[in-house]
Amino acid sequence: MSWGYKNTNGPHTWAVIYPDAAGQAQSPIDIDTTETIFESDLAATPMSVNYKPEDRFTASNTGASFKVNINNVSELRGGPLNGCYRLEQFHLHWGSCDDHGSEHTIDGKTYAAELHLVHWNCSKYSSFSEAVAEPDGLAVLGIMIQSGAEHEGFKDMVDTTRNVRKRGQTCQVLKSFNPTVLLPDNMNDFWTYHGSLTTPPCYESVQWIVFKQAVQYSPNQLQALRSLLNADTDGECIIDNYRPPMPIGNRKIRASFK
């Protein structure tokens, strides 16, 4: 059986096959805002996003999530990052209802979902797979999603979920799309720390950048994610595909704002 989120293959079992999952710098974590450290350098060099429109996009049901791969050269720099990181894919984690589903929690608060935009260090490495296990290999933007207004920019993704209901299905959509629409308005306020992939193989290769401002998706948009199936036949839906917070250990969370 492959890894997943059930009792039999869920997060507490991952380290048996993926030893990194038992490491000391795992993700996600709870962000305890009373313990974060304001760093003026982070405020002085805010995150700078240079995402290019995609003239088409490919969405897939991985069985563990809904994922969209990025083809064009879209770049992220600034904040805690040295050099340039290239957008590879984005995907989400979500719950069975609105009061939980995010991976990171903020002072213990859980959100309905969490969007991850995954980037690799293209100043130092030549591909995602070369970077994925390196300590400075990846940067992931984490965006909290709450139930509320319909999200215009996420509409095309939601429409696509219907075409990838079963595990392993992919769908190419011939519509232009700029991933910038998925970001919160306020990108100046974020927390950052060093951690891991939140799914196997759980490599400790990620500089996490979690935005303070949440973004809203409508109840229908969240429901579309919850109707994806985690198998190739009708049956179980993908829900609660999040890893609970891991110990922060010796790590410090830095804040770009006071």
Of the candidate residues 132, 139, 164, 253, the single one contacting ligand BO1 (CB under 6 A) = 132
Residue closer to ligand BO1 by CB (options 118, 164) is 118
Rule CB under 5 A: which of 114-143 touch Zn ion?
116
Conformation bin of residue 56: beta by default, left when phi > 0, alpha when psi is -120 to 50 = beta
Q: Does residue 116 bind ligand BO1 (CB under 6 A)?
A: yes
Least CB distance from residue 68 to Zn ion, whole Å? 12
The least CB distance from residue 98 to Zn ion, in Å, is: 19
Site string for ligand BO1, 176-215 (x = CB under 6 A): ---------------------xxx-x--------------
Count of chain residues binding ligand BO1 (CB under 6 A): 9
Which of ligand BO1, Zn ion, none does 172 bind, CB closer than 5 to 8 A by kind?
none
Contact positions with Zn ion (CB under 5 A) in 60-119: 116
**Which does residue 129 touch among ligand BO1, Zn ion, none (CB within 5 to 8 A, set by kind)?**
ligand BO1
By Cβ distance, which residue is nearest to Zn ion? 116
Note the residues at the interface with ligand BO1 (CB under 6 A). 116, 118, 129, 132, 140, 197-199, 201
Residues that bind Zn ion (CB under 5 A): 116
